[in-house]
Structure formats: C-alpha cells, structure tokens
Amino acid sequence: MKEIFPKLYYKSKELFFEDVPLKDVAEREGTPTYVYSKGALQYWFEEFDSAFNEVSHTTCFAVKSNSNIQVLKVLRELGAGADTVSVGEIFRALTAGIDPKKIVFAGVGKREDELTYALERGILMVNVESEGELLLLNKVGEKLKRRAPFAIRVNPDVNPKTHPYISTGLKSAKFGVTFDRALELYKKAKELRWLNPVGVHFHIGSQITDVSAFREAAEKVAEFVKEIRSFGIEIEYFDAGGGLGINYHPDERVVPAKELAEEIVPIVKELDCHLILEPGRRIAGNAGVLLTRVLYVKKREEKTFYIVDAGMNDLSRLALYNAYHHILPLEEKKEETVVADVVGPICETGDILAKERELPVLKEGDLLAILSAGAYGFTMASNYNSRPRPPEVLIDGDKFRVIREREKLGDLISREEVL
C-alpha cells in the first residue's frame, strides 16, 4: 500500500480513499464528481485542533472553503465552530447544527439584513471592518434591543509570502483597519449603548507556510490588546484567523499545526484570552478529490493534450491563481510517461488543469483524480458554459453516498422566466 495523502493510497494498483476504490465512485456516479473522505476530515481537524490544547480555544472551520452541510456536520461532531462571511454561510452552519456561540461573522461588506440575521440568532461575534459597519451594527442592536458582540479586524501589515490575491494582512488589502483607527473605533464603541466589544480579530492570508508571519502578526495584535485594556475595554477573544497552508504535491513537506501553535500559544497564554482559529483549506483541502475522465487524446508536434470532462467551471483555482493540483490515474500506470497538458471542455484558452506536466501515458476513457480539491473546489464552481455542477460524495469507511446531487439541465433554467 502506497499512501499519497492521509486516507488516500494505491492498493493493488487501484487508487483508494479510505476503503473505497475511487473507480467504484466514478462508475456509479459518473464524472466529474467531488469526493470527500470523512476519515481525512477527522484526521486533519484533529491534527490542527489538538495542537492548541494548552489554551482555551475554538476551531471555527472556514465555511467558504467547503460549505456542504454533511461536511459541516462531520466537523461539528468533532467540536468545530464556523467562520462565516455571509448570511448564507451562517444559515448553512446553523442548519448543520453548529452552536451559534461557536459562529463568527467576518467580511468587509455586510448588509443590514445580514447583521440582523446574525444578531437574531445569537452568534458569538461580528468581526467589524470599518467605522460604517460599526455604526450600522449599533443601529441593528438598537432595533433588536440587544447589545451586539463584536471584534475589530485589525490589519497588522504583515507579509504572509503567499499569492497576492490571498494576502489579506497588508496595508494595501481591502481588509481590516490600522491599529490607530481600530483604537478610535473601540473608544467610540464605549460610547454607544448597543455595542459590546468582546474580541480582536486579524487574518493575514491563506496558504501560508512560513509560520513566523503568524508570530509577527500575533505579537503586534497582542500589544494592541494590552493598549485597549488600558482604556478599560476587556478583550475576551483573540481571533487569529486561519491560513496555515497544505501540501499540494505529495512530496512537499506539510507544516505541522503544532509549529503554528508554538508561535502563538505563548502569546495567547500571556493575554489570558480565548483563542479563535479559522482554518478551512488546512482541514478540507487534502480531504477531497475531483474525479474526471479522459475524453480525447489530441497530439500535435511536440505537444500532447489530455482533454477531460472537468473544467475551470468545476475547479477554478487553476485559472484564478495559476495553482498546482497533483493529478493521479485511478489505475496505477506503468513507468512510461509523457509531458502533456490536461485541459477541460470550457471554451477558454485558460481552461488548463495541468500545463506541461509529466504524466503517465493515458488513453481515452481513463479515469483521473485531481487532488487537494476538498477546499475552494465546489464552493467556487459555476455554471459557466451552461454546465451543470458536479455531485458531491462522502466516503465513510467502505461505504459512500451522494451528499449533493449532480445538477440536471433543468436546474440551469429553474429560476428563469420561460415563455
């Protein structure tokens, strides 16, 4: 048995997730199909969450990374809360049975109806990102006659050394406010009857593999907490966000969560705060794959294309971020390889799933698994080119079930006026 990622391995030349040959899923449900492993979700959640056991903490799963209700239920059973960025994500978290007191609400553009929904359901806190939002939150609190628990999202101006589109803690980013501005907002909140400052929040980016960036940010924010407290504002929650990276290639080193804990736990201990963490990709990324089938093999001079039935509408990270996703055949091939592009059916030149990748020699009908697709896969999928979105499947031991059905053609027009 040759393990690729936890719970994903070759046995007798077949690719298994837990105790299920992925070929069985593809044959029953067709392709493209998203497949998640309950065992892998548990492995990655416990690897992360247990690293912070020295301090009081809540691991709030970033719903934007994978919002399927059954995935959220698996994580809820393990003790997870939810990091949400829309009213829809709060709705999903509550539907999955997650305790409202384990739900935080972030995002730079919250509407009044979203803030109302969040406060009515008694979530833990709203992570505020501007003065306008703070004043609106006070207004909503007054309307509901309840004090609104909140944290200010500060921007620590730390370079996380990741893709610029997922760097959120720099001054140039739209997220958060400066320390000086945040202090003014906390002081203003003391004067407003319907606001309850309970925490401070920061988030520096995603897919971060240099944990020293987290320490730098945490140290800055900890000093800020001490300053706030000097004005009589008691901060209970220290929300350090998420962003710890995964290995997209099986041969890459994955940074252990305990290394992140070693950087920030001592800081939180000194403050005597309850730590909030918001991992998403770290838990779900390598707990999922996208299955696809080779439709055609197109050969040109010095160029081979494997044309598959999954496209950029199914997995958009590759087109958005020029991201790397490892690709494996469901049936282990002989040593012979070819350098090829794996491309999808979308009418875009940028619909490339792998460029100039050394891959086994494949034929039409061969089945492939695109790895690390459990986070920001289905949640970013679209109906571009009027393509129905794939189903989602959950494996549990030697069994699997569909947890979201494949969309049908009728679903594409179900909300349109048809004359």
Helix 131-144 to helix 112-120 angle (10° resolution) is 50
Please report, as a single letter, which amino acid is at residue 180. D
Q: Quick one: the chain helix, strand, coil %, rounded to 5?
A: 35, 30, 40
According to DSSP, residue 124 is labeled S
Dihedral, CA of residue 198, residue 204, residue 208 and residue 212, to nearest 10? -80
347 is catalytic: yes
CB atoms within 10 A of CB 395: 24
Q: Do residues 30 and 402 make contact, with C-beta atoms less than 8 angstroms apart?
A: no
Out of 347, 349, 416, 417, the active site residue is 347
List CB contacts of 336: < 8 A, sequence separation 6 or more: 360, 361
Q: Is 248 annotated as a binding residue?
A: no
Largest pairwise CA distance in the chain: 72
**Cα torsion angle, 91, 95, 101, 106, sign:** negative
Say how far apart CA 362 and CA 342 lie, in whole Å: 11
Residue type, 330: L
Q: Has 376 been labeled as part of a binding site?
A: yes
146 known ligand binder: no
- Whether residue 279 is annotated as binding a ligand: the answer is yes
CA–CA dist 127, 107 (Å, integer):
7
Identify whether the C-beta of residue 325 lies closer than 8 Å to the C-beta of residue 318. yes
DSSP string covering 40-56, please?
Answer: HHHHHHHHHHGGGTTS-
Q: Is 384 annotated as a binding residue?
A: no
**321 in a known ligand binding site:** yes
Is residue 165 part of an annotated ligand binding site? Answer: no
Among residues 370, 326, 380, 376, which one has the least CA distance to residue 344?
Answer: 370
- Which residues does the annotation place in the binding site for pyridoxal 5'-phosphate? 243, 278-281, 376
**Which residues carry out catalysis?**
347
Residue stretches of the annotated binding site: 243, 278-281, 317, 321, 348, 376
Binding residue ranges for substrate: 281, 317, 321, 348, 376
